[in-house]
Amino acid sequence: MTVLAHTHPLVLQLENDLLPLFRAALPPLAAAAPQVLASVFAFSSGTASAFEDYHFGISCLLADVSEVPEDAPEEVALLVSVTGLDAGARLSAQVVWGQPSGLVEAHAELDAGDLPALHAALPRLLASLRQAASRGAPAI
């Protein structure tokens, strides 16, 4: 049984599709950006219910945060989210830097439940994540 197995069919499909793909992306990411600590994540969130929204991704935390300026982000992530499960699901995917910048490096425009478009966008998003993690800072 998986962590999110008790949920919506779209979430189950995303979990089954994305988590193995993201785990397989970790070794090439580590080779391209050895200065980051990369990990795969999945969690739920929501306001009315803890299970309205689901998020899957790869987090790249800069390994030596003591060298990161105080006003610079310490993390870049590939984030795939399905939101509004209670009122017509929306799907989004982006490579985004953590706070304080919140800068979006890349994103994919997706229709609700359009898994083929998500899968088509993932190679570009993974490449963007590798490039961002290798740089260790947002693009200027």
In the chain, the number of structural domains is 1
**Is pLDDT above 70 for 51?**
no
Question: Is residue 87, in this structure, part of any structural domain at all?
Answer: yes
Spatial CA neighbour of 57 closest among 75, 35, 32: 75
Question: Is residue 120, in this structure, part of any structural domain at all?
Answer: yes
**Does residue 131 or residue 71 have the better pLDDT?**
131
**Does residue 120 or residue 73 have the better pLDDT?**
120
Mean pLDDT, range 29-42, rounded to an integer: 94
Range of the domain at 127: 5-62+72-134
Question: Is residue 67, in this structure, part of any structural domain at all?
Answer: no
Contact between residue 96 and residue 105 where contact means Cβ atoms under 8 Å apart: yes
**Does residue 69 or residue 107 have the better pLDDT?**
107
Under the banding of pLDDT at 50, 70 and 90, the label for residue 1 is very low
**Is pLDDT above 50 for 25?**
yes
Please tell me the pTM assigned to this model: 0.86
Tell me the DSSP string of 103-136: -EEEEE---TT-HHHHHHHHHHHHHHHHHHHHHT
Question: Is residue 11, in this structure, part of any structural domain at all?
Answer: yes
Q: Where are the alpha helices (DSSP H) in the chain?
A: 9-32, 115-135
**Is pLDDT above 50 for 41?**
yes
Question: Is residue 139, in this structure, part of any structural domain at all?
Answer: no
Spatial CA neighbour of 61 closest among 42, 38, 94: 38
pLDDT in tens, 55-64: 999 999 987 6
First to last CA, the chain: 43
Question: Is residue 53, in this structure, part of any structural domain at all?
Answer: yes
Question: Is residue 140, in this structure, part of any structural domain at all?
Answer: no
CA torsion through residues 36, 38, 43, 46, sign: positive
Distances (CA, A) of 109 to 19, 26, 78: 21, 24, 14
